[in-house]
Amino acid sequence: MSETKPAPQTITDGKTVHGVVAEFSDVDSLLAACERVRDAGYTKADAFTPFPVHGIDKALGIKPTVLPWIALAAGGLGTCTALAMQIWMNGIDYQYIISGKPYISLPAFIPVSFELTILFASFGTFFGMWALNGLPKFSNPMFTSPRFDRATDDTFFLYLDAKDQRFDEDGAKALLGDLGGEYIEPVVDDDSSKKIPTGLLVGLAVVIALSLIPALAVARMRVTKSSSPRFHIFPDMDFSPAKDAQQISTLFADGRAMRPNVPGTVSRGDLDWDVDFHTGIDMEKLAQIDAPRARQLVAMMQSDVEVDQADGQVAGEEAEEATEAVEETTETEEPKAEDAKSEEPAAEEAEMKEEAAEEESSQETETASEEDASQEEPAEVEPATEEATVEGSGEESEEMAAEEETTEEPAAEESEPAPAESEEPETKKPEAPAALAPASGPTVDTTPWLTENPLAIDQAVLERGQQQFNIYCSVCHGMNGRGNGLVNQRAQRILATTWTPPSNLHDETLYQDAYPDGKLFSTISNGIRKMPGYASQIRAKDRWAIVSYVRALQASQNASLEDVPAAQRKAIEKEQSDVKAALEKAAAEAEAKAQQSAT
Amino acid sequence: MSLAVPNGLDNSVERPGTRAPLVLGDSSYHSITEAVCKVAETPPSKLWVFSFIVAVHLATMLGLCIAYLFYTGVGVWGNRNPVFWGWPIVNFVFWVGIGHAGTLISAILYLFRQEWRTSINRTAEAMTIFAVVCAGTFPGIHVGRAWLAFWLAPYPSLNLWMWPQFRSPLLWDVFAVSTYATVSLLFWYMGMVPDLATFRDRSKHPLRRAVYGVLSLGWSGSSRHWMRYEKAYALLAAFAAPLVLSVHTIVSFDFAVSQVPGWHTTIFPPYFVAGAIFSGFAMVITLMVPARAIFNIEKLITIRHLENMCKIILTTGMIVGLAYGTEFFIAWYGQVTEEKFAFINRAFGPYWWAYWTMISCNVISPNIFWWKKARTTPWIMFVVSIFVNIGMWFERFVITITSLSRDYLPSAWAYFEPTWVDWAMLVGSFGLFFTLFLLFCRLMPIINMAETKATLAKELHMAHKDAH
C-alpha cells in the first residue's frame, strides 16, 4: 500500500526536535520497518500502536520486563504481612481460645494469607507496571501532533528518538521514507503554555483545604477538654428513649411502658422481708391456729399461680377475676385508659370531700378502685394480693369498694371496726375460710398479730413515719391524730350523710395493748370502713414507720411527767406551773369581776 | 481488510479446518473504534433514558431504605428468631456469585487463550464490579450498627483494645470480598486505560478530553508500554483466577464452617463456585443480549460468543444439579438425623415452593441448551438466563432460610416472612446495579477495542496466510 503514496514529507520549524515519527497503516509493514530500524543500529526506536502487536518487542529489540519479579516480591510481602499480622494479633497480643486450638493455628490463617498475597501481588503488578512505564505522564511530545490521535485508533507509528547515538534528523527521515512510512514528521515541543491555569490551582487549593476540615475537627475533638456532651452523629444506645411509669408504649402488646413482675418470680431485693412483715401477722402462730389461712397467705404472697394450688376454691375464683382484670387492661385502648386515669383523682376527691350524692360517688369509687386493680395488680402482685388476703374474703381490691359500701352502715354506727368486719365472711363470702377475717368483737380476734414493730425504731424511722403520716393520714385523722383532719371538718360542715368520721387515734381501743402493731399495720394496708387501703401507695416499710409514729403520737397525748427525760422535766414543770398560775390568776380575776358586777 | 463470512452474521457453524471468525462483517480497526465509541459519543436513546430513570429511582429507593434501616434498626427486616440471616445475606451471596462470571471470563478464559472472550470481557468485568458493589452493600448494612462496620478491619483501636478473630470465616469473608473487589477494579480499570486513551483522542470537547485524558494516565500506545502492560495483564489474570475461586469458597465457608444442618457440608465450596459461575454467565447473557441489539454491536458480540456462554451455562447447570443430588445422597449416606431431616424439609417442608422453583429454574431450564437452535437464538437464551437468575437467587434463599428456620431445636422453629423493606432492598439493589451499568454503557468503552483489534489483526493475518 505504501508504494502508492507520495514521497515522504517533512515539516520543520525552529523548535527542539525530539525525534522523527513515521506512520504505517498495517501491522506487517510496521513489523518489517521495525526490524530494519533495529538492524540499522537504532536502540531507542519505539513503535506506537492501537493494540499490542505480537513480535514487535523482538523486532525492536525490547528487553523483557522485570515486572514478574516485582509481582513475586509483592506477593511474598503480602504473605509475610498476613502471617505476621495474624500471629501477632491472635497468637500473641490478643489471644483467643477457640476450641482449645493452639493460639497460632496456621491452617486457620491460610485464607487471609492467601487473600493478602493476591492483593499485594496485584498492587505490585498494577502500580509496578505504571511506574515502569513512567505513567501517569500527561505531557508527551508525541501528543503535539494532532495526527498522533490516530495512534489509539487505527494507525501505527514508528518513532526514532533524537537521543539515539545514530540519530540525525535527515538520515532518520530518509530511513523511514525508505521503509514505507506514509507520513513523516519531526516530533517537536508542545508550544502550548506549561502554566497550570490559576483557576485550577485555586480550585485544587480550596478542595484540599476543605478536605482537611473533618480531619482537623476530629483531631481537635480528641484533645479538647469540654464539659458539654459528646457530639453524636449516630445515637447508638447512648440515649435510649426511656418511658415514664404510666406512659403508653407501642413496644409491648399490653401497651404499657411499665412491666409487671413475671408471675411466680420475686424481684431482686424483694426477698429481704418475710411474710410477717407484709401482713402484720405472726405466721408461725397462725399456722398452728389456722393452717389453711396461713398457707393461703403465704401462697398469695408468692404468686397468683401458686394460689391456685394452695386453695383451689377461693383462689380459683380470684384468679379468674385477676385474669379478667388483666384482660381488661390489655384490651383497654389508649384514650380510655387516659380517661380512667384522669377520672381517678376526681373520684378520690369526691370520696374525700363530698360524698353527698351517694350513688354517684360510690360508682366513682368503684371505677377508681377498678382502675387501681387493673393498674397495680399485675405490676405489684404483692400488695394487691395482700390486700385481698387480709380483707378476709380473698377478693380483689375492686371488690373492696363494694364491700365498703355494704359494711358501711354498721361501721358508721360504731367506730370500732370489729363488728363490721366480723360480718363480712358471713354476708359476702360464706365459702371463704372464716379465719381469714381478722375476726374480733363478739367473736374474739384470734389472729396472732405482731405485737412489736419489726422495724428497729430510731429517730430516722420516726421522722419517716411522721412525714408519711402527714402526707397520707393527717388529711382525715388530723395532724395530731384526733380524727379531725381537713376532710373530716369539711364533711361535718356540709353534713355529708354517708360520712364515717375517722377514728380518734387516741382512743384507748387503739392503744398498743388493745390494738396490736400488726393489726394497725394491717388496717393501714387494707383499710377499714371508709378508709381505703394504702398498701398500693405506701411501701410496707413506710407503713411500719407510720405505725411507729402513731404509737409516738399516742404516747405524746397520754404521757405522765415521768416519761419525760429528766433534763426536760424541769422546763415542762415550770411551764406547767406558769400556765397553771396564769389560769388561776385569770380565774380569780374573772371571779372578782363577776362578784363586782353581781354586787 | 475485510473478511467474508459465508453465512452472514452466523459464525456459530463449525467449518472443519478453519477457525470461526470472532469479528464479523466488513470490520476494520477503524470500524471497531467507530462502533464502540459511537455508543458513548452519540446522544442517548430514549430507551436508555427511560431505563436509566427507572434504575435511578430504584437505586434511590434502596438508599432511602438504608436510611430508614439506619434510623430504625435491623428490625425493619424480616430477620427474626430463628432466621437471623434473612434476605440481606441471600442477596449478598447472590450478587457476589453474579460477579464471578466477569472475573472468570476476563481471567480464566484469558489464561486458556479463549479468544472469544475479548469482546465480552469488558462488560463482564464491569458487571463484576457493580455486582460486588451491590454485594458489599448488604453485609455492610447487616452488621446492625453500620457506622461501626470499620471494626471489622484489623486496626489498632484505642477504644476496643482488641483484634479481630482471624479464625472466623466471617472475617475471611471480609478479606476475600474486599480483595476481590479491589483486584477486580484494578483489572477492569487497567484493561480500560488504552480504550480510554482512544476516547481521549477522539474527544472534541476540551472538558471531555481532559477527563478522559486524566483517566487514561497519558497512555500513548508505546510498544514498551504495551509489552509491560500485557505482562501485567497476564499476571493479574493469573492472580484473579485463583482469587475468584477462593472468594466463593470462603463465602461458602460462612455456611459450611457452622454447625447448622444443611450447611455443615464439605461439598459447599465447589458447589458454590459452580453456582456462582452459572449465575454469573446467566447475568452476562441477560445484559449482553439486549445490549448488542440496542448498541448495534452484533458484529463484535456475535452469536458464537453467546453460544459459548450457553454451553458454559449448560455445563455449570449440570454441575449444580449434580451438587443438589450429592447433598441428598450424603444426607442419607451420612445417617445424621438432623442432616437427613434438613434436606427432606428443604424439598417437602414449608419452603417446598422455593426448592422446586430452584430445581426447575437451575436444573431443568438450562437443558434446552442441548439443542443448537436454543443456543443460537438470542430470545430463548435471554428467557433461560432470567430463569437461571431467579433460580440462583432461590438457591441462596433455600440454603439460608430453610436451614435456619428449622435447626436442632424444634421449639425454636419459625416460618420466615420478609417485610416490605426486604423486597424494596432486593429490587433496589437491581436498581443500583443497572444504574451503574447504564452509566458505564454511556461513559466507558463497553468493548475492549484494543483486544478486539488484536483479534482482528490475527484473523487478517491468518486469512492472509491462507490466501497464499
Neighbours of A293 (CB within 10 A): 24
Confidence at residue A431, expressed as pLDDT on a 0 to 100 scale: 40
The ranges of chain B with pLDDT < 50 are 1-7
Please give the ipTM for the structure prediction.
0.89
Long-range contacts at A192-199 (CB < 8 A, ≥ 24 apart): A194/A139
pLDDT, tens only, A352-405: 444 444 444 444 444 444 444 444 444 444 444 444 444 444 444 444 444 444
Q: Which three cell numbers stand for residue B39?
A: 455508543
Asked if B432 and B58 touch (Cβ cutoff 8 Å), the reply is yes
Cell of B187: 483489572
User: Which residues in B lie closer than 8 A to residue A121 (C-beta atoms)?
Assistant: 235, 239
Query: For residue range A466-511, what is the model confidence (pLDDT) as tens digits?
Result: 988 988 888 888 888 888 888 888 888 887 778 888 888 888 788 8
Q: What is the CA radius of gyration of chain A?
A: 51
CA-to-CA dists, residue B448 to A27, B32, B119, angstroms: 19, 10, 6
pLDDT of residue A418: 41
Q: Does A140 sit within 8 Å of B202, measured CB to CB?
A: no
CA distance B171 to A44: 51
CA gyration radius, chain B = 23
Q: Residue A52: which of B186, B240, B454 has the nearest Cβ?
A: B454
Residues of B in contact with A46 (CB under 8 A): 222-224
What per-residue confidence (pLDDT) applies to A315?
40
Question: Mean pLDDT: which of A243-252, A443-452, A489-498, B280-289 is highest?
Answer: B280-289
CB A7 within 8 A of CB A174: no
- Cα nearest neighbour of A111 on chain B: B172
Sign of the CA dihedral running B432, B436, B442, B443: positive
User: In the CATH hierarchy, which top-level class contains the domain A459-563?
Assistant: mainly alpha
Is pLDDT of A260 > 60? Answer: yes
Highest averaged pLDDT of the listed ranges A74-83, A433-442, B34-43, B442-451: A74-83
Q: What is the mean pLDDT of residues A97-115?
A: 88
Give the separation between CA A528 and CA A437, rounded to whole angstroms: 12
Candidates B147, B167, B461; nearest CB to A105: B167
Q: Which residue has the higher pLDDT, A8 or A229?
A: A229
Which amino acid, one-letter code, is at A321? E
pLDDT at position A80, please? 95
Taking the CA of residue A107 and the nearest CA in chain B, the distance in Å comes to 9
- The residue whose grid cell reads 377478693 is A395
Q: Supply the pLDDT for residue A252.
A: 84
- Which of A60, A125, A139 has its CB closest to that of B223? A60
Q: At what angle do helices A358-376 and A397-406 cross, to 10 degrees?
A: 160
| Chain B residues closer than 8 Å to A54 by CB | 454
Phi, psi of A19 (to 5 degrees): 170, -170
Beta carbons of A135 and B243 less than 8 Å apart: no
Q: Which of residues 331-360 of B touch A (CB under 8 A)?
A: none
Q: What is the pLDDT of residue B61?
A: 94
- The answer to whether the CB atoms of B163 and A90 lie below 8 A apart is yes
* A108–B219 CB contact, under 8 Å: no
Distance from CA of B228 to the nearest CA of A (A): 6
- Please tell me the distance from the alpha carbon of residue A447 to that of residue A280, in angstroms, as a whole number: 10
Identify the band that residue A329 occupies on the pLDDT scale cut at 50, 70 and 90.
Answer: very low
Which residues touch A523 (CB under 8 Å, ≥6 apart)? A417, A531
DSSP string, B379-444: HHHHHHHHHHHHHHHHHHHIIIIIHHHS-S-GGG-------HHHHHHHHHHHHHHHHHHHHHHHHS
Place of cell 493475518: B461
- Does the pLDDT of residue A440 top 50, yes or no? no
Tell me the three cell numbers of residue B197. 486513551
Report, in this order, helix, strand and coil percent for chain A, each rounded to 5.
60, 5, 35
pLDDT value for A562: 75
Amino acid B199: pLDDT: 87
SS3 A159: strand
Domain coordinates of chain B in residue numbers? 29-144+164-467
Nearest CA to B23 out of B454, B444, B468, B466 is that of B454
Alpha carbons within 13 angstroms on the beta-carbon side of residue A181 total 27
List the one residue out of A255, A441, A217, A408 whose CA is nearest residue A333: A255
Tell me which range, A219-228, A521-530, B124-133, is most confidently predicted by mean pLDDT: B124-133
Cell 501485567, residue located:
B232
**C-alpha torsion sign, points B440, B443, B447, B451:** negative
Q: CA B100 from chain center: how many Å?
A: 5
DSSP secondary structure string for all residues of B310-347: HHHHHHHHHHHHHHHHHHHHHHHHHT-HHHHHHHHHHH
Nearest CA in chain B to A51: B450
**If DSSP codes are grouped into helix, strand and coil, which group holds residue A19?**
strand
Percent of chain A with pLDDT over 70: 70
User: With the C-alpha atoms ordered B393, B395, B400, B406, is the resulting torsion angle positive or negative?
Assistant: positive
| Number of other CB atoms surrounding residue A64 within 10 Å | 10
Amino acid at residue number A219: A
**Greatest CA separation for chain B:** 80
Q: Which of residues 137-176 of B touch A (CB under 8 A)?
A: 145, 147, 154, 161-167, 169, 171-172, 175-176
For A411-430, letters b (16+ CB in 10 Å) and e give: bbeebbbbbbbbbbbeebbe
The Cα–Cα gap between A553 and A540 comes to 20
With an 8 Å Cβ cutoff, are B223 and A114 in contact?
Answer: no
CA distances from A343 to A358, A367, B316, B382 (A): 17, 8, 73, 70
Residue-range domain boundaries for chain A: 1-191, 270-436, 459-563, 567-599
Q: List, in order, residues 6 or more apart from A453 with CB less than 8 Å away.
A: A517, A544, A547, A548, A551
Interface mutation vs chain A, best among B33, B151, B219, B235, most A CBs within 10 Å? B235
- The answer to whether the CB atoms of A138 and B213 lie below 8 A apart is yes
Give residue A124's pLDDT: 93
A588-598: string of b/e by CB count within 10 Å (b at 16+)? eeeeeeeeeee
**Is the per-residue pLDDT at A423 higher than 70?**
no
Please give the Cα distance from A188 to B126 (Å, whole number).
39
How many residues are present in chain A?
599
Q: Hey, what's the cell of A109? A: 490463617
The arithmetic mean of pLDDT across residues A218-244, rounded, is: 76
Read off the C-alpha cell for A333: 385502648
Highest mean pLDDT among A203-212, A232-241, B256-265: A203-212
Query: Is residue A15 pLDDT above 70, yes or no?
Result: no
Comparing A202-206, A345-349, A538-542, the range with the smallest average pLDDT is A345-349
Dihedral sign, Cα of residue A515, residue A517, residue A518, residue A523: positive
The dihedral built from the CA positions of residue A121, A124, A130 and A132, taken in this order, carries a sign that is negative
- Residue A64 confidence class, pLDDT cut points 50, 70, 90: confident
What's the mean pLDDT in A414-437?
A: 40
Residues B299, B9: Cα–Cα separation, whole Å: 7
Distance linking the first and last C-alpha atoms of chain A: 167
Of B172, B202, B232, the CB nearest to A129: B232
The span from the CA of B272 to the CA of B282, in Å, is 15
pLDDT at A119 over 90: yes
Instruction: Give the mean pLDDT of A334-351.
Output: 45
Q: How far is A131 from chain B (nearest CA, A)?
A: 10
**Burial B441-459, CB ≥16 within 10 A → b, else e:** bbebbbbbbbbbbbbbbbb
CA A205 vs CA A195, A210, A211, B214: distances in Å: 16, 9, 10, 19
Asked whether the beta carbons of residue A129 and residue B202 sit closer than 8 angstroms, the reply is no
State how beta strands A184-188 and A527-528 pair: unpaired
The reported pLDDT for the residue numbered B11 is: 67
- For residue B453, the chain A residue with the least C-alpha distance is A51
User: Is A345 a residue whose pLDDT tops 60?
Assistant: no
| Residues forming beta bridges with residue A187, ordered by sequence position | A19
CA distance B29 to chain A (A): 5
Closest approach of A41 to chain B, Cα-based (Å): 18
For residue B223, the chain A residue with the least C-alpha distance is A47
pLDDT at A330: 44
User: Scanning the structure block, which residue is given the C-alpha cell 406512659?
Assistant: A247
Confidence of residue A411 (pLDDT cuts 50, 70, 90): very low
DSSP B254: H
Maximum average pLDDT range among A58-72, A280-294, A417-431, B391-405: B391-405
Contact (CB<8Å) B179/A233: no
Q: How distant is the Cα of B179 from the closest Cα of chain A, in angstroms? A: 6
> How much is the pLDDT for A327?
45
Alpha-carbon distance B451 to B455, whole Å? 6
As a whole number, the mean pLDDT across chain A is: 72
